[in-house]
Amino acid sequence: MTPENTVSIHPYFRPHEGKRDEFIAGMKAFIERTSSEEGVLFYEFTICDEIIFCREAYVGGEGALAHLGNVDDLLQSALAISDLERLEIHGPAAELDKMREALKDLPVDWFVLEARLVK
């Protein structure tokens, strides 16, 4: 069961020509760094053709922002060898509002939670 204040981040990366293997090799550092975070609910990478997707969720906006601060240097390295094709952040409005100012310079698509089923 996930908390009612769950925030998920959905970045889609397209590695630059010839940089796919380097990007994939760097995933291990992201996972190792994220594994120590208290607010992480899940964190994984998936690949479809040339797009690399990071599927991740946190307890509240605070947990998501703490993660972004924790991996900032790794993210900057990843962005040096890839393009951020899309960035979605999903969650309850109150949790997203905690993040908007910190992420105002990024091209975020904000998805506000409207209905939920938890089993």
Written as six digits, the tokens of 34 are 């994220």
> What does the CA dihedral 55, 5, 30, 14 come to, rounded to 10 degrees?
40
Q: Where does residue 93 fall: left (phi above 0), alpha (psi -120 to 50 degrees), or beta otherwise? A: alpha
Q: For 50-71, how does the pLDDT look when each residue is reduced to its tens digit (9 = 90+)? A: 999 999 999 999 999 999 999 9
Give the DSSP letter string of 57-106.
EEEHHHHHHHHHHHTHHHHHHHHHSEEEEEEEEEE-HHHHHHHHTTTTTS
The pLDDT of residue 1 is 60
Tell whether the model's pLDDT for residue 44 goes beyond 70.
yes
Tell whether the model's pLDDT for residue 108 goes beyond 90.
yes
The overall average pLDDT reported for the chain is 96
Residue linked to tokens 């790794």: 74
With bands split at pLDDT 50, 70 and 90, how would you rate the model's confidence at 119? confident
Please give the model's pTM, rounded to 2 decimal places. 0.94
User: What's the average model confidence in pLDDT over 63-84?
Assistant: 98
**Domain residue limits, the chain:** 6-112
With bands split at pLDDT 50, 70 and 90, how would you rate the model's confidence at 26? very high
In the CATH hierarchy, which top-level class contains the domain 6-112? alpha beta
